[in-house]
Amino acid sequence: MKIVVQKFGGTSVSTEENRQQVINKVKNAIKEGYSPVLVVSAMGRKGQPYATDTLLSLIDDKFKNTNKLAKDLLMCCGEIISSVVMSDDLYNAGIDAVPLTGGQAGILTDNNFNEATCIDVKPKKIFDLVSQGRVPVVTGFQGVTENGYLTTLGRGGSDTTASILGVALKAEAIEIYTDVDGIMTADPRVVENANLIDVISYYEVFQLAEKGATVIHPKAVEVAMEGNIPILIKNTMSDCKGTLINNFGDKSNDRMMTGITSQKNRIQVSITAAENQGNSKYKNVLDLLAANKISLDLINIFPSEQIFTVNQADKETLENVLNSANLKYILIENCSKVAVIGSKMKGIPGVMAKIIKALSDNNIEVLQTADSHMTIWCLVHSKDEKEAINVLHKTFKL
């Protein structure tokens, strides 16, 4: 039995016309001797009736923030509808499809509602269906707790479902079908002439995904990597060969940079020693914020000041904490963190200099930088984000 997991994103299942393309992909897999196991996301994007964000808009913010269990129950509906509708279309096309919830497919999670982690998979049900020549259509993004409560795996979690099943079923491959040709050197909505990456390592794509590229969920990459199952990212609407993600990446390519991505909604926070003289809380700021569950990044600590960024969503809590500690601070809102990723830039001198020069030549103010062995980050004003990405894309000839 050669199993292939085929995951179809929200756009791919949103209309009858698109679902026809899904049927073609399933038929092709069967023709090539594979037993497909499908994973589907909720149909469409915000505004469309059964999209996750549309469903979430049915309930009050306060209720959903304090009733995580109810929020999960509501969010699970989108994928349930999608799996039944997709199964109906497949059935009408002569394919014996069987819709299954995450729990019915054997995905057990912890109790961390809204951001649950898979703790076990019991794939017997799927194996049974596949061995009967049937095609399971599993709801993405969800599982069930030991006590039978429905959980979700965090936004973008349908990719994770595909990887979880791919590994549990020892699939030949995990195919992630979406609305672009594969992993590109930058988001094609941001960089018009972004290029398709043919082959990329798990490690590089994890970095891209973690730093903002929504094309695949980082957790899905991690899970597939641990099980050593190759991932293919493909376009539902075309026959483009897509991007292959495996352990080795592209041996024949010695590009220094792989891609550029970004994250919006960052706030830069600066707290100076001079402004906070005599305030004993100053040296414990990081502890104070950690105790209030505010996560920080781009942290730079100098003798004269402490600088870091937080998510826009944490602004209110941050200000409450700093004000009640009588700390003086400066905020720069509407910032974006642009990340340049490349596995071969380690130890090459002048990369940061090249980035800074390119940005300043284009009058883009760099508020802060940071680097790790594979990534260089620049914090810029969000109004400059798109231009910064395009400038860097050109600078590194991606």
Positions at the binding site: 7-10, 52, 79, 178-179, 189
CB of 6 to ligand ADP, least distance (A): 12
Residue 75 φ/ψ, nearest 5 degrees = -65, -30
Residue 205 φ/ψ, nearest 5 degrees = -70, -30
CB of 156 to Mg ion, least distance (A): 5
Residue 180 φ/ψ, nearest 5 degrees = -130, 165
Footprint on this chain of Mg ion (rule: CB under 5 A): 156
Strands (E), 180-304: 199-201, 231-235, 243-246, 259-272, 296-301
- Residue ranges at the known binding site for ATP: 7-10, 178-179, 189
Measured from the CB atom, is 214 or 284 closer to Mg ion? 214
CB atoms within 10 A of CB 76: 24
Choose among Mg ion, ligand ADP, none what residue 163 binds, the Cβ cut-off being 5 to 8 Å by kind.
none
Q: Are 153 and 141 in contact (CB under 8 A)?
A: yes
CB of 264 to ligand ADP, least distance (A): 12
Footprint on this chain of ligand ADP (rule: CB under 6 A): 9-11, 41, 156, 178-180, 183-184, 186-189, 208, 213-215, 259, 261
Choose among ligand ADP, Mg ion, none what residue 11 binds, the Cβ cut-off being 5 to 8 Å by kind.
ligand ADP
Q: Are 220 and 159 in contact (CB under 8 A)?
A: yes
CB atoms within 10 A of CB 218: 18
Choose among Mg ion, ligand ADP, none what residue 13 binds, the Cβ cut-off being 5 to 8 Å by kind.
none
Measured from the CB atom, is 75 or 267 closer to Mg ion? 75
The residue with tokens 């992909």 is: 25
CB of 292 to ligand ADP, least distance (A): 31
- Residue ranges at the known binding site for substrate: 52, 79
Measured from the CB atom, is 85 or 176 closer to Mg ion? 176
Alpha helix (H) ranges present in 93-156?
124-131
Residue 322 φ/ψ, nearest 5 degrees = -65, -40
Choose among Mg ion, ligand ADP, none what residue 187 binds, the Cβ cut-off being 5 to 8 Å by kind.
ligand ADP
